[in-house]
Amino acid sequence: MVRTRSTVATAALAGLLASAGIVGCTGGGSGEEPSARRMLDDANDAMRELRSVTVVADTVRTDGDGFSSRFTTDLRSRCTSKVTWKETGATLEQIRIGETDYVRPNRAYVEQWSGKAMNRPQNTWLKTPASEPGDGLSSCTRDFTSFGTVRKGEPTEIDGTEAVELVVTDKADKGGKYTFHVATEGKPYILKVVYKGADLSTTTTYSGFDGPLDVRAPAAAQVLDSTDVDR
């Protein structure tokens, strides 16, 4: 089965990043009609084989606050990400190329998370070694793992592509429900995931499957090396 979960974290120069880890279900069905588990397992396999994908997520909390993110990746070592917080207008952009991160928070982000005024141009990117898990920045990889139980929902259509709803619940997430929209024509990609929980809801869409990937470092004049930053 598959999980899509957005998390938020903070770090000294880059924080709070929504990231989605999606997909997968093990097991198989019998008979002519594939089981829900088999369909999600096939979707997991298809997503793992991708060489590029774009993930757009929108999270709304029950208190009305929320954030959105756009993430394009080769699922290996090259990706771009931008997270925007709705209430404050804070944004955090990231480019990862191999072992190097380029991070660009806007003025609202710096003031929100550090309590200090931004003392460099708005278009400055901070160059730093690729981050460790949990520091708030995004990894280019995605972990397609299974959990919980899954059942078939209704036939549907996402942007002109026929799909089927696969509904996932998990004992570890009481009250939470994931609805996966899996393509039933062409390759069985995950097209959309809707999560509804007690405290928040998240809608995640997938597109640009194996599309061109243009990930490049910012212009040198816009880059400040982290070793030059006076901490």
pLDDT, tens digit only, all 231 positions of the chain: 445 433 333 333 333 333 333 333 334 444 578 999 999 999 999 999 999 999 999 999 988 889 999 999 999 999 999 999 998 999 999 999 999 999 999 999 888 777 777 777 778 999 999 876 556 688 999 877 767 899 999 999 999 999 999 999 999 898 899 999 999 999 999 999 999 999 999 999 999 999 999 999 999 999 998 776 654
Quick one: pLDDT at residue 111? Answer: 85
In whole angstroms, what is the distance from residue 104 CA to residue 82 CA?
9
Which residue segments constitute the domains of the chain, with CATH numbers given?
A: 36-224 (2.50.20.20)
* pTM, 2 dp: 0.82
